Structure 1
């Protein structure tokens, strides 16, 4: 039996995100900028969108994109929430099987 440790870091920080839309108005995230703890900025490029879910959090309709990215050389998954009511984008969490990401 093989056990895999999955580490999740809840971030819940606002981010700047670059997206493109198709002819139907569907948003497609490309990359986002996030401020690090040392006040430097990291640009994280989205490799693949795994799922897109509609959620209602605290009365706000949101789209939650679960994406795959490479952060510091390690493959990670992250959840990006886009709020329609507030017009904001939040990185919800980042999870990985590699401890060097955090």
Structure 2
């Protein structure tokens, strides 16, 4: 596994929700670039200070290079974050 840097930046996200209500990220904007999520490797959930969050470990081809990153979705506020890259 490649070491990733924690950035925890809020991002704009396009996602769809399945019938039970689980969000599935499609693409997001970071530093003015649109990143298409090509693969969700792992989906987990954590509770941080009473705040439930879904964690998506993903990978995408960014500028011709395969990048791995983590996204977080805060269930209480419906906000998306780029957590690690």
Structure 1-normalised TM-score?
A: 0.75
Structure 2 gaps of 5+ residues are: none
Structure 1 gaps of 5+ residues are: 95-102
Answering whether residue 44 of structure 2 is matched by residue 48 of structure 1, we say no
Q: 1:27 maps to what in 2?
A: 23
Distance 1:7 1:18, change over 3 A: same
Q: Distance in 1 between matches of 2:3 and 2:19?
A: 37
The structure number with the bigger radius of gyration is 1
- Alpha-carbon RMSD: 1.6
Match of 2:14 among 4, 12, 18: 18
Answering whether residue 82 of structure 2 is matched by residue 86 of structure 1, we say no
